[in-house]
Structures are given as C-alpha cells and as structure tokens.
Amino acid sequence: LENLRAEKMPDRVDPMLAKMALLPPAPDDGWAFELKWDGVRVLGFADRGDWRMQSRRFEDVTFRYPELAAIAEQLSDRAAVIDGEVVSLDRKGRPSFQLIQQRMGLASAAAVKSRGNETPVDYMIFDLLHLDGRSTRELPYPQRRELLHSLGLEGPRWHTPRHHVGGGAELFEAARRQGLEGVVGKRLDSPYHPGKRTGEWIKK
C-alpha cells in the first residue's frame, strides 16, 4: 500500500461502467470474467466502524439495506471503499430483479424493516477502490482483486464471488444454463476509471 497514492477517504465515487459487447475471442487470457448480477449497483464506504452505501446516482441508500451494515464490523479498524451489486435471491439462489425492485424504492426505515423480512438482500462485492488512506483505483484489476480478497469479506449477507481468468465463452454458457443474466469481462491491465465506459469492461 505504501506505493499507492495517498488520499482522504472519498465522499463519493462514480462507478466504472461496462459496455455491451461480444466476448473477446479465444485465447482470452488477458481478461477476467465474473458473473453478471441482476441487481442494483451500490458502493459501500466503511470507515473504522462507520458504514454508508451510495447508489449510482450518489443517493445515500444505507437505510435501505440494514442487513449489510455489519460489513463495517467485519472490517473493524480498516477504511475501505468497495464496489458491488445488491441482489435479492429467489428460492433457487438466483438473483431476481423483480424481487430487488421491492426494496429499491422504499423511503422509510419502517417500510424497509417490514419488507426486509420477506425480501432480504445480499451484496456481491467485486472491486476495491480505496484502502486505509490510499487509492487503489490506479492498480490493474488483479491487484485490486488480491487486496479485496485479503479483506475476507464473506458474511451472512455479503460475498466476494470468484473471478475466472480466460474462458469467457464457457462461463457465459454455464451462466445461461443456470438461468443467470450473463457475464462481465474485465481487462487484466485495466485500472478503475470512475464514471467511464471505456470498453475495458464489457458485458454480455
């Protein structure tokens, strides 16, 4: 971390976006592939026990997903900004946009509590943008993922799903067979470009 650019904890970050595109042809070992989660893009800000969640439009949505607040307890004395997708899983364990819609527009803590018992959410974490006073956004994808995995962010309602280097077409077909939405491909040499759709991330 010592070699990374020092910065104050960001107040907000504009998430990097993926372009719709064909998957790169084999050999595609210059790319990492992740499952595409059918949910809501949300960034999480953990600052030594404090927790805040930000939507793509910079709305504070922390109160809407109270079951995720314990992530900050797991990080305890760390300061981190993480990127991921909030999803609601159906009975077969697949993300359902119909279900997550029931949590998206709630405007009060009472409504969230009532709906949360029927429609819980999970947070699928796939990137790390800041860690302990340093920006990680300039790092290439594998180094960001290595730092993210070192945080051990696995809990009752949050997960750090695995990624696959190469084999994008095979992962896409496997996702389709399981009724999942698709895959996201990310160039291994890509830094994190806030608010940009550069083509270094693609989705299918």
Given 36, 92, 196, 204, the catalytic residue:
36
Question: What are 51's strand-pairing partners?
Answer: 46
Concatenated DSSP letters for the chain? -TTSPB-PPPS--PPP--EE-PPPPSP-TTEEEEEEP-SEEEEEEEETTEEEEEETT--B-GGG-GGGTTHHHHHTT-EEEEEEEEE-B-TTS-B-HHHHHHHHT--SHHHHHHHHHHS--EEEEEEEEEETTEE-TTS-HHHHHHHHHHTT---SSEE----EES-HHHHHHHHHHTT--EEEEEETT----TT---SSEEE-
Decide: 37 and 87 in contact? Cβ < 8 Å: yes
* C-alpha span between 189 and 142 (Å, rounded): 8
Q: Is 196 known to be catalytic?
A: no
Please say whether the beta carbons of 118 and 157 come within 8 A. Answer: no
The residues that are catalytic are: 36
